[in-house]
Structure 1
Amino acid sequence: MEEIEEKTMRVAWGITGAGDRLEEILAIMKEINSKYDDLEIRVYLSKAGEQVMKFYRIYNDLKSSFEKVYVEKNANSPFLAGQIQTGKFEFMIIAPATANTTAKISLGIADTLLTNSALMGLKAYVPLYILPTDYKAGEVLTKLPNGKLLKIRVRKEDVEHVERLRKMDGIFVLESPQEIPPVFEKHYRLLRKD
């Protein structure tokens, strides 16, 4: 009997310069990465994403937990957009996504590595999952690297961009890190049906 070769599921994970729930997201992504043998998560950090990972002192943990970690040089380097458009990735996830990244994607502005790649991927029907930091107006508490809590106001203007994303074809808005594992499970099942 002939053995069927399992296809590796490749996912592009974008990290922006948001610290909110960053440690929790990293822990979940590490767990997902270890769960599947035939999964390759390639990590793409914005310049600010790299800075924030270092500020939270988890950059080395990220680099040792994922084989391929890239940092933005410009809007097209590394060449993530081209790889997404040519079908190298099952989907793209941006978690966490700053209000800036969220607004740019909602307005079609492709001037950073992650916004350019997300928008180019959508043109090629590659699903985009995004976990924005500012999805509900009001005050939120976020944990700083030293463990202290910081109260932040989420403006209605930022929430409007999230609502615009919810209406866009191919974009799926996540509100908590716990919504990430089911995304991988869904795509893994779909890939195995092919």
Structure 2
Amino acid sequence: MLENPLVMVTIILVVNIVYVSFFTIRMIFTLKGQRYFAAFISMFEIVVYIVGLGLVLENLDRIENVIAYAIGYALGVIVGMKIEEKLALGYITVNVISSDPDIEFTRKLRDLGYGVTSWFAYGMEGDRLAMQILTPRKYELKLYDTIRSIDSKAFIIAYEPKQIHGGFWVKQVKKGKIKKSGEKQEDAI
């Protein structure tokens, strides 16, 4: 079966996609501080890596194997990133500056279950409403859509916090308040 060049190229391609996907996921869990899960994934990662690399090294005289390895690596990066998007681990902090400090931006977001801290600010063109919103990454895109529906001209900056401690918000998220508020989103806006 491995004598067939097409089968060999396919196996190398698939093995490398799986390897790099594991690699990407392991790195994400490592960066998120989940060392035991990262170590568990690394066991599978290294087995797949050894098998794939072994197949290529045994057949270095066949350029299509090397090309399949390289293409599989590139596709593995894409697949790993897609998996990471679906997992959406961690939290995101979103800073929003609204050009209209009079709209009830903060209340609308809080009604949807988001933790919001707000303050008045002064920008180049006058008064502004500044907000800091913390949300699980899985709600990030929904939050952006909500912000744009309230103020299409809002200035948005997002980043991933390294550590979160204290506040009422963590308790609310654990209760699933944001997730349950999805049905109420149209009413609150």
> Structure 2-normalised TM-score?
0.24
Task: Give the structure with the larger strand fraction.
Answer: 1
Task: Give the structure with the larger helix fraction.
Answer: 2
> Structure 1-normalised TM-score?
0.24
Higher-Rg member (1/2): 2
